Structure 1
Amino acid sequence: MLKQNLQFKLSQKLSPQQIQLMKLIQLPTLAFEQRLKEELVENPALESGKDEVTDADEFQDNSDEFDDYDNEHIDTDDINIDDYLSDDEIPDYKLKSNNYSDDDEETFMPIEAQVSFHQNLIEQLNTFILTDEERTIAEFLIGSMDDMGYIRRDIQDIVDDMAFTQGIYASEEQVKSILENIIHELEPSGVGARDLQECLLLQLNNKTPNESIDLAKDVIENQFEAFTKKHYDKLLQKYNVSQSQLRKAIDEIEKLNPKPGGSFAGNSRAIEHIIPDFTVKVDDGEIELHLNSRNAPELHVSKDYQEMMQTYKEAKEKSSAQKDAVQFIKQKLDGAKWFIDAIKQRQETLFVTMSAIIEYQKEYFLEGEETKIRPMILKDIADMVGLDISTISRVANSKYVDTPYGTKLIKEFFSEAMTNDQGEEVSTIEIKKILQNIIADEDKQKPLPDDKLAEMLKEKGYPIARRTVAKYREQLDIPVARMRKKI
């Protein structure tokens, strides 16, 4: 049985403009610059530059202007042409804030043209006398390497692949011979290895033999598992050598490169350059915050489009073509005005958020000591600035600040709180720093296990469980005690 009833439902939705603003706030400086360029290309009514500036303050946020933004047809009689015209000419210097400067504008970062890792290896083949078939096999082996210089595939798989894709029918022995006699002779030493053990042996074989090198080769070749697990007592007993002799051999091994391809200068992937979104300076006990000037672009609405509106207003008879044109112009002008206003809101949001973080962590920014960082969560800053937690998260997760103590990701200043033995709340960052210092000062011949680290932290006033110590140690990328052992 069908029933029909009326139900009222209250819902809240973000407007397209609000969604776009949130996306702009989330973007770091480089991504924001790219977004700005895209908007300048997509909207001809939006212009940038210093030659001509229109007072952006006259473009007030009026919801009525956007009601028909996406409609296919606009009643041109309802358009107030005067809203899109301006006779004001304001000097450029009046529109600038002291927080921004031209110092880092128009900055270009040239990229060096380099030969790739694989291309460099192929060029080295010219130093060998090879038949066409041998060279083709050698090039195929080079192409089978990963970026670290390893060949992870089985020789038989490579033989089958060459037969299917290149029409080259080579034996497994022939391919293995070219790998060991040609590829393994290329630089950097160790390329073409099929595993870490072989990679280290290839590098040791290229070193001038001596007592330490010979012992190191024997250890890698015959006692590799004991070496990787740092069972030094077994190695001392096996080779009947002194600790000093074994230490020298291990020093030779530690000088080797486990990723020979990764160290090649031409093996450069796209590098993400960090450009700080903020700069913090400390002068005579006063903290100065500056927003990167790249986040404050000079934008204005196109004069040409405003003149088109003026022409339409002055026309006594308005043709159908003119009405269609003014509909398009209105949409573009509305979009340009909104984008300028969104940029200003983005600047304000970034600045007030970072200002609140500095105020909250004032002791750290004055002294630079990480143990001075207070426990701080997103809600603390959101309450201070009156913004939503999600907005603070967008700022913190993708922005960097240049401080006198290094460039920091803003989210690194946020941490949970723990209570010490005096009942005071301390930041987990402080505890991690103390843990890091304890491990740095430990006896490397007898590194401290996690339960001992927990006891030492408790003695310092931080009652933390062993599993929590293990979690913090892993977050600091510090291995377990056995792997920190040295002789």
Structure 2
Amino acid sequence: MLKQSLHQKLLQKLSPQQIQLMKMIQLPTQAFEERLKQEIEENPALDTGKEENDNFDDPYSNDSEYDDSGNEKIETDDINIDEYLSDDEYPSYKTQANNYSSDDDDKQVPYAAGTSFHQSLKNQLNTFRMDENERAIAEFLVGSIDDSGYIRREIIDLVDDLAFTQNIFTDEEKVLEILTKVVQKLDPIGVGALNLKDCLIIQLKAKSEKECRTLAIKILEDSFDHFVKKHYKKLLEKFNLTEEKLKEVVSEISKLNPKPGSSYDGNNKIAEQIVPDFTIRIIEGNLELTLNARNAPELKVSREYNNMLKGYQDSKDKTKAQKDAVMFIKQKLDAAKWFIDAIKQRQQTLLITMNSIMHYQQEYFLTGDERKLRPMILKDIADEINMDVSTVSRVANSKYVSTPYGTKLIKEFFSESMKNDQGEDVSTREIKKILETVILEEDKKKPLTDEKLSKLLKEKGYPIARRTVAKYREQLDIPVARLRKEI
């Protein structure tokens, strides 16, 4: 049976402006600049405020004959023009940054010039003498090379693809011949290899003959698995070598490039550029925080729009076209005022949040010692500044701070806590730093297993399990003990 009834519900909804503000807070410096540029292009009522204003006679300044108080209210869809022309409103159209300079105007991310990796390989094929069919096979093989420099497919699969996609009928022997005699001779040496073993051997064979290189080729060909697993004792016995000779071989192989494709520096890639959002300096023993000037642009309402409103207010006969124009101007001015206010709120939120983080981690920023990092989660900062956790997360997301110890990702300052043997809360970052130091100082001939590392950390006052040690070691990108072994 259907019934109708009334219910009261309390719902919290974000306005479109609040949603846009949250998105702006999340943007790092370069993305924020793009957002700013887009808004200026879309809203003609916004101006960058970089023009020289010394000779500009502002009709709305205090020295002008124009007086807000004596003007008659204009009844055009209840629009009060004074609301947009008042000299009380004018200063709020600007956001100032005293550390802004003309040096900050160059905001374009540079592009690396040059020929692409695969195009470079194809260009090198012109130095080989081949018939039309062989050249087509060679170009197909070059096109099959990945960005690391490998062809990660079976020869028979390449033969099939040549037949189906290129209408070239050949056999494995011919493809292998062109691969070894042409493609694998291209620069950088090692490209076109089918696996790591072949890649290293190709590079060794391309070098001048030397006893240790000949021995290195033999070891890789006959005992590649023993070598990569660092079973040095088995290699010493099998090849009847001294430790000194094996060290020489290992040193020679370690100089090779396991990813020859990635070494090519002619790729058309965007040159990576990190722009810090904040700067922390130590001045006379105290920390000073500044926001990057590129996050604090000077904006104002366009003077042309002010002139149009003044002209409308001074005119005696208001036409329909003029009224429509005023409605358009009102919408653009509302959007401009909101955007300028949103930028100011963004700046304030960024500074308040980063200032709280800086003081929370004051010992670290004064010393640079990662062991001084306190356990800190998003809620700690949110509670301190009376903001939502999601807001703090947005501020910390993808943003960097320039410190006396280098440029750091803000998210790196957040870490969970663990209790030491005295019951004190310590940061997991501190434990990772100590673990990294212990591994760095270990005897590489007998590297410490995760079990032994766990015991050592317990002796230092950090009771953590073996599996936790393994997790932290993997997060630090440190291999297992067997792969850290040296001769």
TM-score (norm 1): 0.91
Name the counterpart of 1:26. 26
Cα distance in 1 between the residues matched to 2:253 and 2:120 = 26
Please report how far the alpha carbon of residue 376 of structure 1 lies from its aligned counterpart in structure 2 after TM superposition. 1.0
C-alpha contact (below 8 Å) 1:421/1:462 kept by paired residues = yes
Return the letter of the residue paired with 1:361.
Q
1:180 equivalent in alignment to 2:141: no
Cα distance in 1 between the residues matched to 2:79 and 2:418 = 60
C-alpha contact (below 8 Å) 1:102/1:293 kept by paired residues = no
Q: CA 1:107–1:3 in 2, change beyond 3 Å: closer, same or farther?
A: closer
Name the counterpart of 1:424. 424
C-alpha contact (below 8 Å) 1:105/1:293 kept by paired residues = no
Cα distance in 2 between the residues matched to 1:270 and 1:281 = 30
Name the counterpart of 1:124. 124
Helix, strand or coil for the counterpart of 1:401?
strand
Aligned ranges 1:326-341 → 2 under 5 Å: 326-341=326-341
Helix, strand or coil for the counterpart of 2:276?
coil
Name the counterpart of 2:68. none
1:28-87 per-residue CA deviation (whole Å, 9 max, x = no partner) reads 0011111111111111111213116799xx9xxxxxxxxxxxxxxxx9422211112245
Name the counterpart of 1:70. none
Cα distance in 1 between the residues matched to 2:312 and 2:50 = 28
Helix, strand or coil for the counterpart of 1:472?
helix
Name the counterpart of 1:262. 262
1:291-350 per-residue CA deviation (whole Å, 9 max, x = no partner) reads 111001111111222222233333434333333322222111111110010011111111
Please report how far the alpha carbon of residue 390 of structure 1 lies from its aligned counterpart in structure 2 after TM superposition. 0.6
Return the letter of the residue paired with 2:452.
K
Name the counterpart of 1:68. none
Helix, strand or coil for the counterpart of 1:287?
strand
C-alpha contact (below 8 Å) 1:400/1:409 kept by paired residues = yes
Q: CA 1:358–1:146 in 2, change beyond 3 Å: closer, same or farther?
A: same
Cα distance in 1 between the residues matched to 2:14 and 2:201 = 61
1:299 equivalent in alignment to 2:266: no
Name the counterpart of 2:152. 152
Cα distance in 1 between the residues matched to 2:371 and 2:207 = 46
C-alpha contact (below 8 Å) 2:111/2:268 kept by paired residues = no
Q: CA 1:91–1:333 in 2, change beyond 3 Å: closer, same or farther?
A: closer
Please report how far the alpha carbon of residue 432 of structure 1 lies from its aligned counterpart in structure 2 after TM superposition. 0.7
Cα distance in 2 between the residues matched to 1:386 and 1:99 = 28
C-alpha contact (below 8 Å) 1:400/1:410 kept by paired residues = yes
Name the counterpart of 2:40. 40
C-alpha contact (below 8 Å) 1:147/1:267 kept by paired residues = no
Name the counterpart of 1:394. 394
Return the letter of the residue paired with 1:249.
V
Please report how far the alpha carbon of residue 168 of structure 1 lies from its aligned counterpart in structure 2 after TM superposition. 2.6
Please report how far the alpha carbon of residue 2 of structure 1 lies from its aligned counterpart in structure 2 after TM superposition. 2.1
Q: CA 1:44–1:399 in 2, change beyond 3 Å: closer, same or farther?
A: same
Please report how far the alpha carbon of residue 466 of structure 1 lies from its aligned counterpart in structure 2 after TM superposition. 1.0
RMSD after superposition: 2.3
How many equivalent residue pairs? 468
Return the letter of the residue paired with 2:168.
I
1:415-459 per-residue CA deviation (whole Å, 9 max, x = no partner) reads 111111122211111111110000000001100001111111111
Cα distance in 1 between the residues matched to 2:127 and 2:244 = 41
Return the letter of the residue paired with 2:370.
E
Helix, strand or coil for the counterpart of 1:77?
coil
Name the counterpart of 1:465. 465
Return the letter of the residue paired with 2:171.
S
Helix, strand or coil for the counterpart of 1:262?
helix
Aligned ranges 1:427-446 → 2 under 5 Å: 427-446=427-446
Helix, strand or coil for the counterpart of 1:12?
coil
C-alpha contact (below 8 Å) 1:100/1:291 kept by paired residues = no
Return the letter of the residue paired with 1:434.
I
Cα distance in 2 between the residues matched to 1:338 and 1:91 = 14
C-alpha contact (below 8 Å) 2:419/2:462 kept by paired residues = yes
Aligned ranges 1:286-365 → 2 under 5 Å: 286-365=286-365
Q: CA 1:412–1:403 in 2, change beyond 3 Å: closer, same or farther?
A: same
C-alpha contact (below 8 Å) 2:418/2:425 kept by paired residues = yes
Please report how far the alpha carbon of residue 266 of structure 1 lies from its aligned counterpart in structure 2 after TM superposition. 1.0
